[in-house]
Structure 1
Amino acid sequence: MIHWNTELADEIGLPTAWQDPENRLQWLSGNALPPGSQPYAMCYGGHQFGQWAGQLGDGRVINLGDVSARDGQNWTLQLKGAGPTAYSRFADGRAVLRSSVREYLCSEAMACLGIPTTRALSLVLTGDSVVRDVFYDGNPAPEQGAIVCRAAPSFLRFGHFELAASLGDSAMLKQLIHYALSNTSTGHVPFTPDSDLDVSAVLAWFETLCEQTLKLAVDWARVGFVHGVLNTDNMSAMGLTIDYGPYGWLDAYDPSWTPNTTDAGQRRYRFENQGRIVQWNLYQLANALAVVIPDHEALQSIVESLSSRYESLYQQMMCHKLGLEEFEPRHQGIIKMLENLLQSQETDMTIFFDRLKQFSVNGPQENEGTADSGSQAVTELQHCVNDALYDGKVLDDNLPLYRQFALEYRSVLKGTSQERRHQLMSSSNPAFILRNYLVQQAIESLDGGDQQPFDELFQALRSPYRDQGTLSAKRPEWARNHPGCTALSCSS
């Protein structure tokens, strides 16, 4: 057992038998079943990279069953990497240490950032050797096998609904919808295949899911997270971040960046496109629901509102990152100016926003229209954010842009208290993110038998809004093109 998530175990409130370390090890390594467990794998479909892929399914995930927490919350436990299932096709159903560490750490980092996500209960080495072709270059090699125990209120995906709709199985589709409604309301309502759906309840659920999913994508943008594989089978019907594969976190701000080498050409799932992609995915879910929901106009109305709703959520999020209480139309200019500034030279997004808190609301009066206009403001701004710049300073060609931003930012901040601004910025801008190179260092150390970097990283991610010293520093130069630090494949 590499790691046991004590905090999550306490939150779930597992039965007493789980307190025995030997029991836990046997159950979480897939060598024995917990009492009452009836393991199963799930079948679903999905659109992958914009194309219908047909039937997919849990190729290496085995669900152990559900646990009811003390607060009444349902938790499904599943083992990822425990062996083949009915949906493994030609794969071995195993997972490697590399990908398992990435999922374990990132799901917990996301939870600590306050972003809805599946969770990770344990990380176990299997002792098996698993062969993978990391770069898809025809050079497979053995790696250590591992298993992650994932936990979530439900692992229901958009792809479950899509598969039922594609098969024309209305009864299955109704049952899935009923299950989704039961998991988002109090109490369980008996299901009968011939009963009519409560259309208003289904539409309300779908609208809520749309809002949750849009907020989720905005939260990813807030912290610089790029999922990497936003296929519809990787979208949670509970509004959670799910399936941590070739994900990444922005080091230098680059809206066109994707960590997934499979997507390097098309860049469908790049950072700046995630909002549009989740809207597209919600539209596919609406198409599936339309098979059994006769009110197509209501569904159409919901999906047609997605773009404006996302834009509104994004604008409000950016205002909070800047320390502004509520978005106003006049703020659109400062947001666009900021995005241009971040791209003007290699700039670490996380450090930039963290340091921007130090920029004073009320600077000295400057004579507008003179040669010195904005000089004090831009000097202060440079002093605040130099740590975020990979060049170490603002390049001369970018000084006019920095001057313009500094003056405009100070202008829109007028009337804002320094205390309130600091509160908004501190709660919106993490000081620590799970940088790709940090995870890779932990993986390489674990592979060599040293667990300390992993433990230190897990401890740091528990407090992402506090500075974590060297772990909060920007990406070192050696990691720029190091395997696993910038680009990743889906090999896992």
Structure 2
Amino acid sequence: MLNLTIKDSFNKELPVDLVKDNTRRQVVEACFSFVKPKKTSNPKILHVSEDMASRLGFYEEKTSSEAFKNIFTGNEIYPNTNPYAMCYGGHQFGHWAGQLGDGRAINLFEVTHNKKNWALQLKGAGETPYSRTADGLAVLRSSIREYLCSEAMYYLGVPTTRALSLALSGDQVLRDVMYDGNPAYEKGAIVCRVAESFLRFGNYQIFTARGDLKTLKTLVDYTIKHHFKYLGEPSKNTYISFFKEVANRSLDMVIHWQRVGFVHGVMNTDNMSILGLTIDYGPYGWLEGYDHGWTPNTTDNTHKRYRYDSQPEIVLWNLYQLANALYPLIEEAEPLEAILESYQEEFPKKYLKMMHYKLGLFSPNEMDEKLIFNLEEVLHKTETDMTIFFRLLSSVSKNDTVKEAIRKIEKAFYTSSEVVGEIKKSWENWFQNYLDRLEKETVLDEERKAKMNTVNPKYVLRNYMAQLAIDDADKGNYALLNELYELLKKPYEEQPKYERWFAKRPEWARNKVGCSMLSCSS
């Protein structure tokens, strides 16, 4: 037996769906529905996050046990627990979609260890009342991407949900990868996701949209009690403080996204964590060439609502929707509007501070904003790898000539031969200004490099890297999956044995499915 310390609260303190059948339906006046995972035919654990396992109180012999395998693939239910799926709604691509809910996620239980409470859920464990027309399952490719990415983001220092385990179900799942009418069977898989809570903006929106203010208040009070207890007992002022905390955390989260070049791809309100965590890893990606207009989502390719440079603005839009959802408990627009205005005021300040660190400018100067703006302009003039550029920039010395400085970062150019004429002149002008600016810094070159390398990762989970691991795993080879997992645990370290991953996206991956654009297909 795994001997977990179970301390369930969500499915004990909140109103439950009174209908027990696992049928697709509108669930009213309830925060969740009881539902059991679908049993799998031949489950196999492929990988376990040892860090997450230890945080939950597991030891190696436990994670390799039959009990662990069966519970975290849905074949057994841990004693005295009641799995469930949450009810929520949301705005999808700017439009209210009504009830959505956990369509392919089933919450198992909450574990307490070392005075911290964790919620564990299986993604891809079968249908729920919220599955609509889907089967509630997931496939290996999307599961590998979620497993690796959630752990990679954690080690990058980005607020995120975590992953405990990745498993094959032994079943085949039918999916139309690009929504082009060509479905095919793929290997089924299940990820065990972990977070303090999986509550989303949409959990609150659904009740306001339905006029169910009683359940709304019950859920908000529960959230404050378990996740924002320091704000005090529920009251109008506490609700305002709660919204401010969510706004602040959401702002911090998106600043981190911009820092590392991460693009979420599906920033619908049902994919916004109330705790300010990155949640729901679907068609995400990291910038390869520095491009403010890039989105990894095929569904978003036309309007690019969720492109890289729009993410801070979309977080604000989503916060407006949450403010609307909480308004009936506050009945006063002014304090909510003030918080939203504060977000707008704080973002440019926090973005500027973040860019100062990326550029190694630790004594702010009034000319820095222009230097940063000019850099973003010149980065767009020729395809330049964001991760490689900022990492190599730390090697530039105050005593370098412009020519020497450019040579140090030229590995970041996808086509060096394009850096001629006006483009070359733009780079020379920028580096001259940057070198002049470094002269005003009192920090020594080596100290500045060390500091820059704590915010500019050397390694990120590029889509082509994940796709290579997926291709191997489809053939039953999991060595690359493990290698990438180990690599991504230390993204800011040099790791010479993994140097081959400090490289631009190869040309073969430029337009390959899974390497450039991705769909929401699971």
Tell me the TM-score normalized by structure 1. Answer: 0.93
Matched ranges for 1:240-251 at <5 A: 240-251=277-288
* Conservation of the 8 A alpha-carbon contact between 2:360 and 2:451: yes
Q: 1:410 aligns with which of 435, 455, 467?
A: 435
Correspondence for 1:489: 519
Correspondence for 1:206: 243
Deviations 1:74-132 (A, max 9, x none): 10000000111111111111100011000000000000001110000000100100000
* Conservation of the 8 A alpha-carbon contact between 2:239 and 2:329: no
Residues of 1 paired with 2:243 and 2:190: CA distance? 33
Q: 2:465 aligns with which of 438, 441, 451?
A: 438
Residues of 2 paired with 1:17 and 1:262: CA distance? 43
Residues of 1 paired with 2:379 and 2:170: CA distance? 45
Could you tell me which amino acid in structure 2 is paired with residue 400 of structure 1? K
Residues of 1 paired with 2:232 and 2:309: CA distance? 41
Correspondence for 1:268: 305
Residues of 2 paired with 1:311 and 1:116: CA distance? 20
Correspondence for 1:10: 54
* Conservation of the 8 A alpha-carbon contact between 2:91 and 2:268: yes
3-state SS of paired residue (2:171): strand
* Superposed displacement of residue 40, structure 1: 0.3
* Superposed displacement of residue 395, structure 1: 2.7
* Conservation of the 8 A alpha-carbon contact between 1:324 and 1:416: no
* Conservation of the 8 A alpha-carbon contact between 1:213 and 1:278: yes
* Conservation of the 8 A alpha-carbon contact between 1:14 and 1:69: no
Residues of 2 paired with 1:402 and 1:110: CA distance? 31
Correspondence for 2:420: 395
Correspondence for 2:271: 234
Q: 1:173 aligns with which of 216, 238, 242?
A: 216
* Superposed displacement of residue 318, structure 1: 0.7
3-state SS of paired residue (2:513): coil
Could you tell me which amino acid in structure 1 is paired with residue 108 of structure 2? L
Change over 3 Å in CA distance of 1:297–1:137 after alignment to 2: same
Q: 2:404 aligns with which of 380, 385, 390?
A: 380
* Conservation of the 8 A alpha-carbon contact between 1:316 and 1:326: no
Residues of 2 paired with 1:84 and 1:352: CA distance? 44
Change over 3 Å in CA distance of 1:295–1:362 after alignment to 2: farther
Residues of 2 paired with 1:164 and 1:248: CA distance? 33
3-state SS of paired residue (2:329): coil
* Conservation of the 8 A alpha-carbon contact between 1:323 and 1:420: no
* Superposed displacement of residue 328, structure 1: 4.1
Deviations 1:360-406 (A, max 9, x none): 1244xxxxxxxxxxxx32x0122111110111353333121112111
Residues of 2 paired with 1:17 and 1:41: CA distance? 30
* Conservation of the 8 A alpha-carbon contact between 1:324 and 1:424: no
Correspondence for 2:133: 90
Deviations 1:150-199 (A, max 9, x none): 00000000001111111111111112211221233458999xxxxxx412
The two structures, once aligned, show a CA RMSD in angstroms of 1.7
Residues of 2 paired with 1:46 and 1:392: CA distance? 45
Correspondence for 1:194: none
Residues of 2 paired with 1:79 and 1:189: CA distance? 32
Change over 3 Å in CA distance of 1:136–1:296 after alignment to 2: same
Decide which moves more: 326-335 or 48-57.
Answer: 326-335
**Structure 1 residue 142 corresponds to structure 2 residue 166:** no
Change over 3 Å in CA distance of 1:205–1:187 after alignment to 2: closer
**Structure 1 residue 474 corresponds to structure 2 residue 504:** yes
Could you tell me which amino acid in structure 1 is paired with residue 147 of structure 2? Y
Change over 3 Å in CA distance of 1:16–1:441 after alignment to 2: closer
* Superposed displacement of residue 295, structure 1: 3.1
Unaligned runs of 5+ in 1: 191-196, 364-375
Residues of 2 paired with 1:320 and 1:179: CA distance? 38
Residues of 2 paired with 1:188 and 1:150: CA distance? 27
Correspondence for 1:25: 69
Change over 3 Å in CA distance of 1:425–1:476 after alignment to 2: same
* Superposed displacement of residue 230, structure 1: 0.1
Residues of 1 paired with 2:59 and 2:257: CA distance? 34
3-state SS of paired residue (1:91): coil
3-state SS of paired residue (1:458): helix
3-state SS of paired residue (1:92): coil
Correspondence for 2:102: 58
**Structure 1 residue 41 corresponds to structure 2 residue 85:** yes
Correspondence for 1:457: 484
Q: 1:358 aligns with which of 395, 415, 418?
A: 395
Deviations 1:6-47 (A, max 9, x none): 111101224999456110110011010112221000010000
Correspondence for 1:299: 336
* Conservation of the 8 A alpha-carbon contact between 1:248 and 1:259: yes
**Structure 1 residue 425 corresponds to structure 2 residue 452:** yes
Residues of 2 paired with 1:336 and 1:134: CA distance? 38
Unaligned runs of 5+ in 2: 1-44
Correspondence for 1:370: none
* Conservation of the 8 A alpha-carbon contact between 1:63 and 1:78: yes
* Conservation of the 8 A alpha-carbon contact between 2:164 and 2:192: yes
Could you tell me which amino acid in structure 2 is paired with residue 256 of structure 1? G
Correspondence for 2:38: none
3-state SS of paired residue (2:416): coil
Tell me the TM-score normalized by structure 2. Answer: 0.88
